[in-house]
């Protein structure tokens, strides 16, 4: 799956008291939108895994986006 990152993106994911919060700057939101659009075109079960080693800010929780039905 080929998706585009917008230069200067910042994305942070945190989970507190069972609530997941995704915080991002403009470039981060546009990048996530690009990833969601690409994922929508993939087959069922396809997923994207984000973590501090490949895209999220330090201290972030992992995030997995998965296509169902």
Between 27 and 54, whose confidence is greater? 27
Q: Identify the domain containing residue 39 by its residue range.
A: 11-66
User: What span, in angstroms and rounded, lies between the C-alpha atoms of 6 and 2?
Assistant: 13
Per residue in 20-50, pLDDT tens? 999 999 999 999 999 999 999 999 999 999 9
Pair of tokens at residue 25? 């700057």
Neighbours of 23 (CB within 10 A): 13
Decide if 2 is inside a domain.
Answer: no
Q: What is the pTM of this model?
A: 0.86
Does pLDDT of 1 surpass 80?
no
Quick one: pLDDT band at residue 8, thresholds 50, 70, 90? very high
d(CA 7, CA 28): 9
**How confident is the model at residue 32, as a pLDDT?**
96
* 25 in any annotated domain: yes
In a domain, 3, yes or no: no
């Amino acid at each position: 799956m080929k998706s585009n990152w917008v230069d200067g993106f910042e994305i942070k994911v945190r989970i507190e008291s069972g609530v997941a919060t995704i915080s991002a700057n403009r470039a981060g939101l546009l990048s996530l939108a690009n990833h969601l659009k690409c994922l929508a075109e993939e087959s069922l079960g396809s997923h994207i895994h984000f973590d501090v080693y490949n895209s999220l800010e330090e201290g972030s929780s992992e995030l997995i986006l998965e296509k169902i039905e």
